């Protein structure tokens, strides 16, 4: 399962992945991320939003597979 999650993260663009990792995993704030990456706070927020949206799209097959549905 962890390998699947890492594989999904690797499918993000480098910019989206960097902001996602810094915000979600390392718990930096958007102003801190903006300063570290030399981007605006708005860009940090936008990249995080787009990363989350893309991850949801990529993860959907893992949660809505016909293989997981039983017809009892």
pLDDT tens column, 16-55: 999 999 999 999 999 999 999 999 999 999 999 999 999 9
Vertex 71: Cα angle to 62 and 63 (nearest 5): 10
* Alpha-carbon gap, residue 70 to 35, rounded angstroms: 50
Average pLDDT of span 42-71? 83
Alpha helices in 1-72 (DSSP H): 2-10, 14-20, 30-37, 41-63
Residue 70 has pLDDT above 80, yes or no: no
The residue among 46, 3, 5 whose CA lies nearest residue 25 is 5
The Cα 72–Cα 63 span in angstroms is 19
What pLDDT is stored for residue 38 in this prediction? 98
Q: Set out the domains of the chain in order of their start, with CATH numbers.
A: 2-63 (1.10.10.10)
């Amino acid at each position: 399962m962890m390998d699947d999650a890492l594989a999904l993260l690797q499918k993000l663009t480098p910019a989206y992945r960097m902001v996602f990792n810094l915000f979600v995993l390392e718990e930096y704030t958007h102003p801190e991320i903006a300063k570290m990456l030399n981007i605006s706070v708005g860009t940090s927020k936008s990249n995080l939003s787009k990363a989350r949206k893309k991850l949801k799209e990529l993860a959907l097959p893992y949660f809505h597979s016909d293989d997981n549905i039983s017809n009892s």
